Amino acid sequence: MNKTRTVLVKTSAFLSLSLFAAFPTFATIPVAEIDAPFEARTYTQTQVTSSKQSLHQLLGRHYEKQRLNDDLSSKIYDLYLKSMDGTHSYFLASDVAEFEKYRLKLDDGLIRGNLDAPFAMYNRLQQRVTERLSFLLKQLPEKAKDYDFDKDELLSLDRENVEWSTSTEELDDLWRKRLKNSILNLRLADKEDDDIYELLSKRYQNQLNRTHLANEEDGFQVYMNAVTHAFDPHTAYFSPRNTENFNINMSLSLQGIGAVLQTEDEHTKVVRLVPAGPADKAGQLQTADKITGVGQGDEEIVDVIGWRLDEVVDLIRGAKGTTVRLEIIPSDANDLKTKVISIVRDEVKLEEQSAQKEIIEIPQGDKVLKIGVIDIPTFYIDFQGRQEGKKDFKSTTRDVEKLVNELKEENIDGIIVDLRNNGGGSLDEALNLTDLFIDRGPVVQVRYSNGYVQVLPEDKNQKAGIVYDGPIAVLTNRLSASASEIFAGAIQDYGRGIIVGGQTFGKGTVQSVLPLEHGQLKLTQAKFYRVSGDSTQHQGVIPDILFPTLFDKEKIGESALDEALAWDTIRPAGYKAKRDFQQWLPVLRESHQSRIESNPDFIYLHNQKELMTELRQRTDITLNEKKRKQEREDNEKQRLEIENKRRKAKGMELLTELKSDDDSDKKDAKKKKEKAEADSKDDKDMADAKSDDNSSEDESDKEDKEPDALLMETGNILVDLMRLTKTPTTAQK
């Protein structure tokens, strides 16, 4: 009998492929002929068995009880079609009309072990992809040389809801425009036409080669994920190869850049950065960026558009101390403009993810109040150390308790718990951390698929008394998820502190991993609920005072995912709130609004948000070279004006141009090289190297370390709350 490996304590928001460890490089891929037809694939009996096993688990153990009927079949069909061609760029209207006969038959096929329909759709996709890539290769270079870049043409970037093309000629025109746009982007990157034609020919030939290498496992993976995602976006099927990647993702002690990726159309998108990982430290790779190329050290960058996710992951992984160069489309780029960044691969160390403290000073009349800040990047625990009975094993709660006691000795007046970008981690640590600030009582409720509700923690696991009973604020943003939402929700429900910042991610489900004969199934089996009875699912935690945010909620967050489980409520747990802040919120919000109206950093953030919103709304881009250049210049000018407006208000030196990507890339590479060298020494030498590095920072580095505006404003809000609630100006009891 198969055993279930439960990962209840692993509550991170994403469980996609993660970039750790070194893997072998690719074998030589045979070159596919341009006009060679794609060879149709068929499924195996082993895959049939896995599909039946998956279906049995989905129908019997998934949190959201669904029946296998025509409604579910239709949902699977839509998700499958979208996963194959979400931009309506490959299939013809006639293809989709032909597929429609399968809409209400996929459920029957799953029951009978007949996968003919999904494989027929998959094989047609591979045929259409082959045709599109062959078309592009035939355009290069001779026909592409005749493209008129003075002509006023537009390329639509938002094609999810456009009508399917009715003819091959329509698709040819779309792909001609796409090719023209690729050439234009490379021209604007100062590449010569002959080099551009050579680069693009290699790109499309590589994609064609990989299309012809696609096997039955690829088709089965795509279809089964459509089946599982019809239940919810965190339920997934892992092939044996992706099972290996998933298991690597569950460990944070391996080497790589520390990023979690997923496929979006033809691109590889950054879903999350691992706190304290190399990519996070470098500061150049951001959530929702798209990776278009990968290079090793000083070697030529390999174009990875259209590659399978596991292939891109393999190419980015590598040994500690080596450099990987990524060509990316930044998430805020509206014209597919790319830039190249460098990241030195390293090991993600548990100690580097540890909570940190600092003290900020908030003027209050003739006084200056000291607010302690505890930054928690993730909810971590040394599982092995705990299992071995070590007295000094590391954990979030142990580290935070130590930091709180140190802050109390420094006579701080309040504490801010900074959970920005904290994607979750250990559920036990979320419970234990809450116990430091709330004296006994439930923290979270877990409702299982059978309706049973478990209230956590159990009384026997709680300590009497608390470590800190002074004023608290919790700072969140859109990337605060899972365990972060449990902690923030409990602090809010108990009235123990005020929540400030951005609406959290909304990942309130619990997954378990079930072994199959062929691969694994990650299955949602429970939901988290706050002690108030509100779910953290979908809605997340809404702060008492909201800050402006640059995160696009349409792309980032649980609500942006297809088939996300809904927000709902259950009966509240038996808890007693310490205080109700509702009566003071209007005054706090008014004071906050009054401050930020003249705060240069908040004005800057507001202006940045307006600019990004405007750029996101431009779904068509011009293929006229002069107009494209002018649009880019205007965009850079707007960004420079926004930055200099902030600098002028703060008395800083104005810039004549924004820092170039190349300059920041070189500076980052230098710092990462020094860091890699320092890591080879012992702890003392490492600390000395860090100290020396800080002392030699240039002026631009010092400017980069100006006070965190969001943190300072959170401190002001906390001080306002202390004044309204008549809390003594010292929390030392």
Phi then psi for residue 693, to 5 deg, are -65, -40
Beta-carbon contacts of 401 under 8 Å, excluding residues fewer than 6 positions away, are: 436, 467
Specify the residue for token string 């032909």.
98
Task: Report pLDDT for 698.
Answer: 42
Specify the residue for token string 């469980």.
15
Task: Report pLDDT for 247.
Answer: 46
Contact 548, 601 (CB under 8 A): no
d(CA 437, CA 445): 18
Task: Report pLDDT for 239.
Answer: 85
Count of C-beta atoms within a 10 Å radius of residue 78: 15
Please check the confidence at residue 11 and state whether its pLDDT lies above 70: no
Question: Reduced to 3 states, what is the DSSP secondary structure of residue 5?
Answer: strand
Q: Which two tokens stand for residue 16?
A: 């996609």
672-675: long-range contacts, CB 8 A cutoff, minimum separation 24? 672/278, 672/281, 672/282, 672/323, 672/342, 672/343, 672/344, 673/344, 675/281, 675/344, 675/346
Q: Which CATH superfamily is domain 241-347 in?
A: PDZ domain (2.30.42.10)
Task: Report pLDDT for 44.
Answer: 95
Alpha helices in 346-458 (DSSP H): 383-387, 396-409, 427-435
Q: Which of 240, 245, 234 is nearest to 216 (CA)?
A: 240
Q: Which of 16, 482, 484, 591 is the catalytic position?
A: 482
The model's confidence at residue 254, banded by pLDDT at 50, 70 and 90, is very low
Spell out where 138-184 has E strands.
154-156
113-121: long-range contacts, CB 8 A cutoff, minimum separation 24? 113/48, 113/49, 113/51, 113/52, 115/43, 115/47, 115/48, 115/51, 115/220, 115/223, 118/80, 118/219, 118/223, 118/226, 119/41, 119/42, 119/43, 119/216, 119/219, 119/223, 121/80, 121/81, 121/84
- pLDDT digits over 220-247, tens only? 999 999 999 999 999 999 888 766 555 4
d(CA 217, CA 243): 13
Contact 401, 357 (CB under 8 A): no
Count of C-beta atoms within a 10 Å radius of residue 307: 22
Contact 537, 566 (CB under 8 A): yes
Question: Reduced to 3 states, what is the DSSP secondary structure of residue 417?
Answer: strand
407-411: long-range contacts, CB 8 A cutoff, minimum separation 24? 407/357, 407/359, 407/372, 407/374, 408/468, 408/731, 408/732, 410/359, 410/370, 410/372, 411/370, 411/730, 411/732
- pLDDT digits over 369-421, tens only? 999 999 999 998 887 777 777 878 889 999 999 999 999 999 999 999 999 99
DSSP track, 536-579: -TTT----SEEPP--S-TTTSSGGGSTTPPPP-B-PPPS---S-
Sign of the CA dihedral running 532, 537, 541, 546:
negative
Question: Across residues 457-477, what is the average pLDDT?
Answer: 88
Q: Which of 370, 507, 527, 672 is the catalytic position?
A: 507
Specify the residue for token string 């953290």.
536
Name which of 273-287, 512-526, 528-542 the model is least confident about.
Answer: 273-287
Q: Which of 294-298, 317-321, 579-583, 591-595 has the highest mean pLDDT?
A: 591-595
Task: Report pLDDT for 664.
Answer: 45
Residue 634 class from Cβ within 10 Å (0-12 exposed, 13-18 middle, 19+ buried)?
A: exposed
Task: Report pLDDT for 351.
Answer: 62
Question: Across residues 673-693, what is the average pLDDT?
Answer: 38
Please check the confidence at residue 676 and state whether its pLDDT lies above 50: no
Q: What string of H, E and C letters represents the secondary structure of 665-681?
A: HHHHHHHHHHHHHHHCC
Please check the confidence at residue 448 and state whether its pLDDT lies above 80: yes
DSSP track, 66-114: ---SHHHHHHHHHHHHHHHHTTS-S-BHHHHHHHGGGTTTHHHHHHHT-
Q: What's the mean per-residue pLDDT of the chain?
A: 85
Question: Across residues 315-341, what is the average pLDDT?
Answer: 84
The model's confidence at residue 655, banded by pLDDT at 50, 70 and 90, is very high
Question: Across residues 154-161, what is the average pLDDT?
Answer: 92
Catalytic site includes residue 507: yes
Name which of 37-41, 509-513, 607-611, 713-717 the model is least confident about.
Answer: 37-41
Beta-carbon contacts of 335 under 8 Å, excluding residues fewer than 6 positions away, are: 185, 621, 628, 631, 632
Q: Is the link from the previous residue into 330 a cis peptide, with omega within 30 of 0?
A: no
Task: Report pLDDT for 303.
Answer: 84
Specify the residue for token string 């006579």.
411
Q: Which of 97, 64, 409, 19 is nearest to 235 (CA)?
A: 64
Name which of 4-8, 94-98, 365-369, 409-413 the model is least confident about.
Answer: 4-8
Task: Report pLDDT for 641.
Answer: 96
Task: Report pLDDT for 728.
Answer: 52
Sign of the CA dihedral running 34, 39, 40, 46:
negative
Q: Is 451 left (phi over 0), alpha (psi -120 to 50) or beta?
A: left
Q: Which two tokens stand for residue 411?
A: 């006579």
The model's confidence at residue 533, banded by pLDDT at 50, 70 and 90, is very high
Contact 437, 496 (CB under 8 A): yes
DSSP track, 691-722: HHHHHT--HHHHHHTS--HHHHHHHHHHHHHH
Question: Reduced to 3 states, what is the DSSP secondary structure of residue 439?
Answer: coil
Domain ranges for the chain:
67-230, 241-347, 350-599+709-724
Query: Considering only the top CATH level, what class is 350-599+709-724?
Result: alpha beta
Please check the confidence at residue 350 and state whether its pLDDT lies above 80: no
Task: Report pLDDT for 689.
Answer: 33
Sign of the CA dihedral running 160, 161, 164, 168:
negative
Question: Across residues 462-491, what is the average pLDDT?
Answer: 94
The model's confidence at residue 27, banded by pLDDT at 50, 70 and 90, is very low
**217 residue type, one letter:** E
Looking only at Cα atoms, what is the longest distance across the chain?
80
628-632: long-range contacts, CB 8 A cutoff, minimum separation 24? 628/184, 628/188, 628/335, 629/188, 631/335, 632/188, 632/335, 632/337
Specify the residue for token string 């976006």.
233
d(CA 623, CA 47): 45
- Distance in angstroms between the alpha carbons of the first and the last residue of the chain: 57
Q: Which of 11-15, 274-278, 613-617, 626-630 has the highest mean pLDDT?
A: 626-630
Phi then psi for residue 510, to 5 deg, are -120, 130
d(CA 486, CA 530): 7
Task: Report pLDDT for 32.
Answer: 74
d(CA 275, CA 641): 32
Please check the confidence at residue 705 and state whether its pLDDT lies above 80: no
Distances (CA, A) of 660 to 189, 636, 670: 13, 11, 16
Contact 294, 284 (CB under 8 A): no
Q: Which of 85, 493, 534, 544 is the catalytic position?
A: 493
